[in-house]
């Protein structure tokens, strides 16, 4: 089942540069060979539910280890 997961890692730091706790989350996803779209307010992963949820789990673990205080994720099925 294809899904998309949009997630934002807090604390939110304004600006073009990604702060280390966001960078860590994104690198953890890419390390699984899964692509992440980096947006202005959030990041998005698309794919089969199993892969996307695995990616989110990896992102959350790595981000928290790097100092994230909150992660908000929205997972939706894709028609």
Partner 1 sequence: MNEDDEFARALADALGSMYRVSLVDADNRVQASHGAVEGDRVTCARIPLPRSASAVLIEFDVGALERAQRTLQLLSDRGDPAGNASPAFPHLDDALGALISLAEADVGHPISAMTRAEKQQVVRFLDERGAFALRKSVESVADLLGVSRFTVYNYLDSSRRS
Stretch of residues binding partner 1 (CB under 8 A), selected from 10-18, 25-33, 48-56, 57-65: 10-18
For 31, which DSSP code?
Answer: T
Q: 24 to 63, contacts with partner 1 by CB under 8 A?
A: 38-42
The answer to whether 72 contacts partner 1 (rule: CB under 8 A) is: yes
> Which residues lie closer than 8 Å to 2 by C-beta, 6 or more apart?
46, 47, 48, 49, 77, 78
- Of 1, 15, 77, 79, the residue at the interface with partner 1 (CB under 8 A) is 15
The answer to whether 12 contacts partner 1 (rule: CB under 8 A) is: yes
The answer to whether 78 contacts partner 1 (rule: CB under 8 A) is: no
What is the enclosing helix (H) or strand (E) of 30?
helix 20-30
Beta bridge partners of 10: 70
Interatomic CA distance for residues 73 and 19, integer angstroms: 18
Residues that bind partner 1 in the complex, under the rule CB under 8 A: 6, 8, 10-12, 14-16, 38-42, 72, 74, 76
């Amino acid at each position: 089942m294809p899904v998309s997961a949009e997630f934002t890692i807090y604390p939110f730091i304004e600006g073009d540069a990604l702060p280390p706790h966001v960078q860590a989350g994104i690198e953890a996803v890419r390390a699984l060979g899964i692509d992440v779209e980096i947006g202005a307010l959030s990041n998005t992963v698309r794919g089969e539910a199993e892969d996307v949820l695995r990616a989110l789990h990896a992102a959350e673990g790595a981000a928290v280890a790097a100092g994230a205080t909150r992660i908000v994720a929205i997972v939706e099925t894709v028609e």
